[in-house]
Structure 1
Amino acid sequence: MKENEDITLEEAKEKIAYLENLLKEKDQTTYKTFFDQDEDAVVVFDLESQLFIDCNAKLTDILGFTKNDLLSLSVIDISPKFQPNGQPSPILAELYIEEGFKKGNVKFDWVHLNRDGEEVYCEVKLYNYISEDGKRIARGVIQKKDQLIELQKKLGEKEKLLTKVTKTLPAIIYIQNLTTDEFLYLNNSIEIFLGFEVEPILNYEYLIQNILHPDDLHLIEAHSKKMLEEKNTDIYVLDFRVFDNNGNIHWFRVWETNFSFNKDGIPTEVLGVAQDITSTKKIELQLKKQNELGEEIRRISKSGVWEWTIESNQMFWTPDLYYLLNVNPNHFSPTIHSLIEFFAIDSQETLNQALTKARIEHSPFDLELEIKGNPNIWAKVQGKFILSETNGPIIIGSIENIDETRKKRIALLENEARFHKVANQTGLIIYDYDITEDKITWDGAIKSVLGYEIEEFNHLDLNGWLNLIHPDDRMFTKELLADAIGTKSPYHAFYRLRSKDNTYIPIEDRGTFIGTDLTKSTRQVGVLENVSAKFEFESKLESKEERFRNFYNFASEAIIITEGDMIVDANLAFKKLFGYDSFQKVSIRDIISDPLWDGLEKKEKSFSLEGIKKDGTLIPIQVNKKEIEESKCILSFIDLTLINEAESIKKALREIQEKNNLIITQKLELEKTLEELKITQSQLILNEKMASLGQLIAGIAHEINNPMGAIQASSQLILENIKNQMINQEKIIQLLSSKPKEKREIYFTWMVDSFLKRNHLHGSEARKRKKLIREKLESLGCKDADFVAEEIVDLGVQNCLYMIEHLCHEEDFLDFFNYGMDYIHTTQNLNSILESIQRVSKILYALKNFSHFDKQGEKIETDLISNIETVLILYNSQIKTGIEVIRNYPDSPLWIRCFPDDLIQVWTNLIFNAIQAMSYKGTLTITIKKESEKQDGTRWISVLIEDTGCGIKDEIIGRIFEPFFTTKELGEGSGLGLDIVRRVIFKHNGHVSVDSIPGKTTFKVSLPL
């Protein structure tokens, strides 16, 4: 698919499902291959039925059954009635299964029966887990113990030989009582190795105090504990350090086995053999450190490294490069030409030119090239010319897979293009004002609103923007901005802005400060909205409302508006005709004298009957009905009393006809006015939604740009560190090799602890800590105490000073220290990248949920918690700077049938109203709970949204759900937000209520389950 083609949501879902299934099939195939080729016998069985589910070929070799045979059997079917310890096999199997669920795995001895019914002694390792469908499943790894049994049979025969061997073997041989810790036997070789006499060593306390290294005692204790717990006769090996009688340190390796057991199977004696491996251990540790250093350098670089010796035309590749290019190092000899062949045609030419230039002009190169494959991938290729004393001119370089990074970079550019398109289509101008730099970045519908090109508008700084504001509005707007900057509060202003054709456009400007701490916020983001249309709509609406109200109140006919059976409004003529001073709590039944009255919905548009005045007087009336919306009607009443007088019939009829004509004319005008009101109302609702969208876009733009900026900055720092380490690689290796083993261990432990124990300090606390550390380092003779103290406190690793205290007196300490700080910088930058990626993924997921609209018009199953969380994520930029959110949710998702997109509009209005009511500081509590079942059998769920704002006054709380009613200033809201809430909840057959006192306002939304 081309990059500029649109893709529908359904196509995207299908593609995602296809890729997920493909990945799942690949994972299953890989797992099955490892399972079948495992060298150990592996079996999977159902813990309830104990029937086998799967097994590999190794198990069929041990027991002689075919795989089909085993899949029809259970564990008990291939076990004897009793195990060697006398317990029944079914009971003992249940005990091991329960122990496995407690510990996660269990290891034990077990006797199985093969196909011929012969006993096979095995060792079983059992791993228990719960499958996706809730079944209890076990995976067993089985090993035969024939060799061990044979060894036990021959042990008695070789006791005499063992006695002879222990006297001549160049090793320490001993038997230790595990109950008393005393040595029952110890040969004289310990005098040869360590210079200690045998007799005092028979006491274990003497061994701890004089011979065993204190830093290795925990290893010895763990080794002994493992032998006691596993209760078998396996050979256990351990390396540890000891002192000779001169205080010199030696490395010993012991081979131990449980030698004797009590009746409960617990080991009581251990047999051991120890040898001095000091010289071997030193070589082994040096080699291990070198390998770890090489692996660490390769791991940090995240790339394959290559080296080309130009004169001999020989190449060296690291293992990572073989893996990256998918070739087997045992069957492939790398050359410069074979390396180039791995790249696509266009990339080959580019790489050839870069290598030639590096060879001739000694110029380094840094390229992004395409590697051939299925599919092709993109890689970063770097190279540098070096003149080696031994090999002459060489080019050393690296190849790093950047395919995913490049795709994300392209996706980011596409997202920015889409964001720019949305901003243009919504008619909003978006800005980002850096207060410290006095720089404003503009985007959005600049061309369509003001006529300027975006390039010429982006040259405007604060003074340039102020010069475009109408002179009458400029000073007031400037004061509002200064006040907002001084208090770090949200900025809101109305002013006229000069367009390119020198006309002034009415603008609503809404801005907010961003940053990790309000006291350090140095940037303001916001939107400019052309409110010309809004002002025009509001003016028309006020005119039409006034005209309608005048006609309504001064009409000669009695007119009322009903909702259901209740009267919600009445004109003066109605009050005069029926004698009521107020229409509150008056219903249709109160003014109709009809015992069979069954509601307005069954009546014609015009009908006659008797009415009842407040004093009980009956009057004949004619009623005309007009439905204006669901459950609402307009009724007009005509008093027919005079028609009863015969001589006035003709006159009355004529008057009635005239009045009817007038009513029809007025009714038509009223209907037209109502239709215009509905259209205007719909347009205002749309404007309200677009304004909300503009606020969200501004917040989301910042929320995405911040982590992306962090990723870019961290990536550049990591690359710089990698380049420095590659350049200084040989120096670093020499530096580390020159230090004693103990100091290298202290150094590497410091590097790891410094990454895990970060504690960033700020302000006076940081300055105090730097001073204390500097004074301490100066007392230890550190020449660069100021620099070292600054670095470790700025990086937050002041709690890990032991390495510096041990090594600061070394002459090359500063090189040692700088290399360690580069490593810590790199690990912290990698962690910053991971956190930023997780943040962007969360924002984009929430935005996708918010932007999905249901076009079917049907209720669907929706998780109510996720529906609310979508709105909270999108308003995160307004919430995080001063609002604490308390979530009282059920433990599991709560599914209801609803219109999810409509409900998002409900939570958007209620949550944003709460944020504004608290002036962006306070506590927002959201509670979701199931109500107890009603008497009619219905079940309800309630959502309570509570804020700690100023509250709603008693005199207006009854009107807040009325359309167009608002307490906000002109331009801040149309008064339709809570009307939208009421309509949506009514559409769901639910209801909404409010309870408010100063400092606490709670909106309760009840929805049927």
Structure 2
Amino acid sequence: MKKNREFARVLRRLRTDKGISQENLSLEANLARTYISLLERELRSPSLKTINKICEVLEILPSNFMELVEQEKNKDINEELSNGHKNEEFKTQPIYSHLIDIIGNTLNIIVINEKLKISYANQNICDLLGYEKSELLNLNIEEISDPGSILKIKNTLQGLFSKNTYTYSDIICKSKNADNIHFNMAVIPHSQEAKTALLVLIDATEYKKTQDELLKSQSYLGMALSATKQIVWHIDLKNNVIHILSKSNEHIGYFPKEEIFPFSEVTRNEIHPHDYQKILVLLESIPKHDEPYFEFEYRSKRSSDQYRWNLARCKILKWCDNDRPQIIIGTSFDIDEKKSAQMALALNESRLESLVKLNQMIDAPINEIIEFAVNEMVDLTESQTGLIIIKEKNGHDKIFTNTRELQNRSLKDILDTTLPPKYHDSIFTAHDVFILNQIEKNAQEANTINARKMICSPIKDHHEVVIISIVNNKLEDYNSSDARQLTLLMQGLWRIIEHKKHHEQIQKIEKNLSVSSRLASMNVLCRCIAHEINNPLSMIQGHSDDLKDSLISHKEINPQNIYQATEQIDKMVERISTVIKGMRTFIQDSTMGFVRNIKINELVENTLNFVKTKLINVDIELIVKNNLHPDQIIDCHPSQIAEVILNLIYNSIDAIYRLPSRWISLEITSTDQVINISITDSGSNIKPDIAKYIFEPFFTTKEDYRGQGLGLYISKTFVEEHGGTIILDDTSANTCFRVSIPIKQS
């Protein structure tokens, strides 16, 4: 074992100087501990690969290590010379001349001269190439190598002895069967005098195949990572280390090259502060389970110091003893565009939801709507305080806020509390949205002014500011998106306020129209009563006067005449009673205001009693076509339906009373669910340019001021309140109105 003695000494000395135990050396060099012990006890010969591993741990170049081995061997030779054992074999040998003694039995060895002639080959290489040793020694290295490998060997031999070191290369040799065998080759000076070189060859054929497949896989993985702009990372939480594995991470802007970093420093400096805390909580709270996969979104800083959204997909490889994750591997890729689109969509949905909620509250009191808008704008902009000022023309502006301590306080008091005085005028003079992300305060204002950031959005109508909205104290800076949210919400609020005002005006007009319609209805009713009561009263008065005259003049009274007179008086009284009974029915229905069940035939008959005298006086024929069952019932307001019929008949009377042919037709039919009433007169149909206005209030074509233009408007209102329809039949040659009313009312 003498040939391993110098190697063992150098190894032991260098290991001891570094303070490394055999166990630690074996762990770091990925070798068996007993193998290190055998090397130091001169019981094993190291391979070239082993020498490289050991030198890497001991932080020394292999060439320097072997030089120390040669020095140790020369030292032994000098000691032997000094002891009188001088001999030719003990001449100082060149560096590496004894390496063949150390590793010759474990590796494939060939010795060549400067003309590439093989002068030595061990049995290992002979067996591998399929040659007998005698055959191989008669060959030139060029005969068993491909052209590229020959060129590498020639280039390596040039200057090899002057540098006195070894070099690495890859070559391809051909076996006796012409098979290509890949070798990792180390070229080492063997003899300065003979100009020979030692070729140490390691069979790398299988390694080459594996490496080719690995490179192909790495290439595919690299292309995939590059295409998806992903980075791969490895975290050791126990040792606070993150290893950025991907070389394509510049696409995301993470790190300029593949490196190892302190995990806490990376997360604290490169990840958004809000997300940093969330990630720490997430890693601490993940329970140990069979499927250790999870993902999360976070924002990371770029070279421009801007944050972009990323999605991390992770797998836990190792757990600590306390069931917390220790080693995690994962990928991260940029989702900023997708996240921005999602946030924009969510933002639009929030805006839409807010506007929808506002519109759903349109029937609520205006103050309740504005209070909702205050809370909504605070939530949308993630602010702390909100203020809405509704400008009034009388100068008494209305103020709404979500903060209890600011409620029931004057506007000046609120502004003094929230903003420095120099900003007050800006609020009332601004014509566009303005954002303040740093409100300047002097020393006296520092403890009294509570606003740090602010957005003010004025809403204008016809170039006049009608609403001023203010939000302040968002944790992050306000941006244009916040301004758009605030402006859109306030524009929606103003539209609702305008609608409420318009609706109030319409209600006021409708109230006035309702009063006018009742007056008009009373006018129609009075006209009917006047016609239907005055005529019977006149006849009663006539018979009464005749009887008075007979009594005063002491004329002989004929009992037959008295009987006939009293009989006529009874009929007139009955007629008046019928009119009053119908009138009482209508008045009761009008004042009570509820739907009643009534026979439609009775309703129509009572209604026509009001116009019979009028029709007789103007010589208009009334044609009634009633196809209903005598006991047909309808749910309705009798007075309103009667008024519809009276309005249509009186309109027909006013339109045709001067025509040569004068008639009015009333036709009543029914289906299972609807009563249909058609009123047609002898006049020609209404012209289209007039027909489109006839149902509007105060529209009339009567020239003698006998109408106010409310009859058809009121009739349409009453019919629609019953869920029915009233139309002018534009297909009829005569003027014809068709009314449809549901039999049952909900």
TM normalised by structure 1 equals 0.25
Tell me: higher relative CO, structure 1 or 2? Use CA pairs within 8 A at least 6 residues apart. Answer: 2
